[in-house]
């Protein structure tokens, strides 16, 4: 099959034609889809379909880099994608693909690994990039590289903070309580693959499956939009002149610009969609009054409004009963300023030494910002990080409820206040478990 195909492909290329009707330097249609789960994306490049999932885990850092997170790439070539892929065993191209993607991301320091550090020397986030080939239509490297970047762009890691008695415990905040954080990506290294035919004088970009069958050599350039070359991988036996490589680099630069802009556009669209999903959940639709309103503004306005009403009502109640203590005397200006923190940080309310935050936090919950299912109490998941004799790090995660925690530091007056507040909560929205 290959001999007749090769003759035809080369004959066509000599006339600047390719078997699928493209010109030598045309890429196939690129289509990106972000899946519902954060950090997973599907990329279609012509017939090729690649899915990528990014996940993270708290691990102990490498001893030589105590305050840097890590990044690892795993590939899965399903036999469903191509009959030549063997199940279970990693083939040669599976290894190569993983290495090229890994090198492009790691050596160029695209992902800010230092921001993945939680506790220096104790706990850092380890990112795992899983690339699955769903359909092999040629040029898997480019498709996988774009999929990996798309997944990294949409990935959110849970926010966590150091806590506990000595500040050596890691508290992982659930996404409902603190908004998960995006990764810091300094730039986007995109792979562009060229295939060489004949004596290395015929070049095409983005080879298709059939072209890959008969190509003599391959060059993958990983580059970012600024024109920095992050990695170069050359495969196949045919020799390529330096002039040819320079030409490829110039072409790659324009291709990378195209891909980067569509990646950014897709990521932005996805971000808007995510925000809208949240808006629906908290039901702000009524306040937008049919206008198109910036979501963050709407949400902020809603917070301000609700908590202002709330604070007033609480204040009036408290004033009726007893003199207002320092923590709830916060005026409206304070409130609007610290609103976001309040919403995002109910966890902190649990900490005994910080009773100040108890009130506003609860107030915000009452405002219905996150609309938890009734009966849900604010809770923490606190991870206690210990190192056992084998050197493996163990994170004990325990969930505790605010009410059940013995609150010795809180005095009775505060408890009363709290109870009062809860009573009010009941009025707004009955909570069954109370």
Contacts with other proteins by CB under 8 A lie at: 1-5, 7-8, 11-12, 15, 17-21
DSSP symbol at 409: S
DSSP symbol at 112: -
Which residue, 82 or 114, is less far from other proteins as judged by CB?
82
Which residue, 214 or 221, is less far from other proteins as judged by CB?
214
Which residue, 130 or 211, is less far from other proteins as judged by CB?
211
Q: Whole-number minimum distance, CB 386 to other proteins, in Å?
A: 55
Rounded Cα–Cα distance for residues 101 and 193 (Å): 12
Which residue, 17 or 287, is less far from other proteins as judged by CB?
17
Rounded Cα–Cα distance for residues 373 and 365 (Å): 12
For 353-361, the CB contacts below 8 A with 24+ separation are: 353/409, 355/327, 355/409, 355/410, 355/414, 356/326, 356/327, 358/327, 358/410, 358/414, 358/418, 359/314, 359/327, 359/328, 359/417, 359/421, 360/307, 360/311, 360/330, 360/335
Which residue, 11 or 309, is less far from other proteins as judged by CB?
11
Tokens (6 digits) for 424: 């009010």
Rounded Cα–Cα distance for residues 143 and 136 (Å): 10
Which residue, 3 or 326, is less far from other proteins as judged by CB?
3
Q: How many helices (H) and strands (E) does the chain have?
A: 11, 16
Which residue, 13 or 124, is less far from other proteins as judged by CB?
13
In terms of Cα–Cα distance, which of 325, 381, 327 is closest to 358? 327
Which residue, 28 or 103, is less far from other proteins as judged by CB?
28
In terms of Cα–Cα distance, which of 419, 197, 194, 239 is closest to 314? 419
Q: Whole-number minimum distance, CB 7 to other proteins, in Å?
A: 7
| Number of CB atoms found within 10 A of residue 432's CB | 7
Which residue, 12 or 249, is less far from other proteins as judged by CB?
12
| Number of CB atoms found within 10 A of residue 98's CB | 20
Q: Whole-number minimum distance, CB 4 to other proteins, in Å?
A: 6
Which residue, 136 or 145, is less far from other proteins as judged by CB?
136
For residues 73 and 131, the answer to whether their CB atoms sit within 8 Å is: yes
| Number of CB atoms found within 10 A of residue 55's CB | 16
In terms of Cα–Cα distance, which of 131, 123, 159 is closest to 54? 131
- β-pairing verdict for 123-135 and 70-77: parallel
Which residue, 215 or 310, is less far from other proteins as judged by CB?
215
Q: Whole-number minimum distance, CB 209 to other proteins, in Å?
A: 10
Rounded Cα–Cα distance for residues 73 and 131 (Å): 7
Rounded Cα–Cα distance for residues 168 and 176 (Å): 24
Q: Whole-number minimum distance, CB 151 to other proteins, in Å?
A: 29
Q: Whole-number minimum distance, CB 80 to other proteins, in Å?
A: 12
Q: Whole-number minimum distance, CB 2 to other proteins, in Å?
A: 6
Q: Could you tell me which residues come within 8 angstroms of residue 46 by beta carbon, excluding any fewer than 6 positions away? A: 20, 28, 29, 137, 138, 139, 206, 208
| Number of CB atoms found within 10 A of residue 421's CB | 22
Rounded Cα–Cα distance for residues 9 and 22 (Å): 12
Q: Whole-number minimum distance, CB 15 to other proteins, in Å?
A: 5
Rounded Cα–Cα distance for residues 297 and 266 (Å): 22
């Amino acid at each position: 099959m290959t001999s007749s195909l090769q003759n035809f492909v080369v004959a066509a290329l000599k006339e600047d034609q390719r078997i699928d009707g493209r010109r030598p330097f045309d890429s196939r249609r690129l289509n990106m889809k972000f899946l519902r789960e954060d950090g997973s994306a599907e990329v279609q490049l012509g017939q090729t379909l690649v899915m990528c999932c990014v996940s993270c885990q708290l691990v102990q850092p490498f001893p030589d880099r105590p305050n840097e997170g890590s990044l690892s790439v795993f590939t899965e070539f399903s036999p469903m994608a191509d009959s030549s892929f063997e199940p279970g065993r990693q083939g040669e191209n599976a290894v190569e693909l993983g290495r090229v993607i890994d090198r492009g991301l790691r050596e160029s320091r695209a992902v800010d690994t230092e921001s993945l550090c939680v506790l220096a020397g104790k706990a850092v986030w380890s990112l795992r990039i899983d690339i699955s080939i769903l359909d092999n239509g040629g040029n898997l490297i480019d498709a996988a590289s774009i999929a990996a970047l798309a997944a990294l762009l949409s990935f959110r890691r849970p926010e966590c903070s150091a806590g506990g008695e000595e500040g050596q415990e890691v508290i992982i905040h659930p996404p409902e309580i603190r908004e998960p954080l995006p990764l810091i990506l300094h730039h986007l290294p995109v792979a562009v693959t060229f295939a060489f035919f004949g004596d290395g004088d015929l070049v095409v970009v983005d080879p298709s499956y059939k072209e890959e069958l008969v190509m003599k050599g391959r060059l993958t350039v990983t580059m970012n939009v600024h024109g920095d070359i992050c990695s170069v991988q050359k495969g196949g036996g045919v020799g390529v002149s330096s002039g040819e490589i320079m030409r490829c680099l110039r072409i790659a630069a324009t291709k990378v610009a195209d891909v980067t802009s569509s990646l950014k556009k897709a990521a932005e669209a996805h971000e808007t969609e995510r925000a809208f999903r949240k808006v629906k959940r908290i039901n702000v639709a009524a306040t937008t009054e049919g206008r198109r309103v910036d979501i963050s503004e709407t949400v902020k306005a809603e917070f301000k409004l609700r908590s202002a009403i709330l604070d007033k009502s609480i204040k009036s109640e408290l004033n009726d009963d007893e003199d207002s203590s320092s923590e709830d005397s916060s005026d409206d200006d304070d409130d609007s300023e610290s609103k976001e923190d309040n919403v995002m940080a109910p966890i902190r309310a649990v900490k005994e030494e910080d009773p100040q935050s108890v009130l506003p936090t609860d107030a915000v919950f009452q405002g219905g910002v996150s609309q938890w299912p009734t009966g849900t109490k604010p809770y923490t998941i606190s991870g206690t990080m210990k190192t056992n004799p084998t050197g493996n790090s163990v994170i004990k995660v325990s969930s505790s409820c605010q009410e059940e925690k013995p609150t010795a530091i809180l005095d009775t007056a505060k408890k009363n206040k709290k109870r009062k507040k809860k009573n009010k909560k009941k009025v707004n929205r009955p909570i069954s478990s109370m």
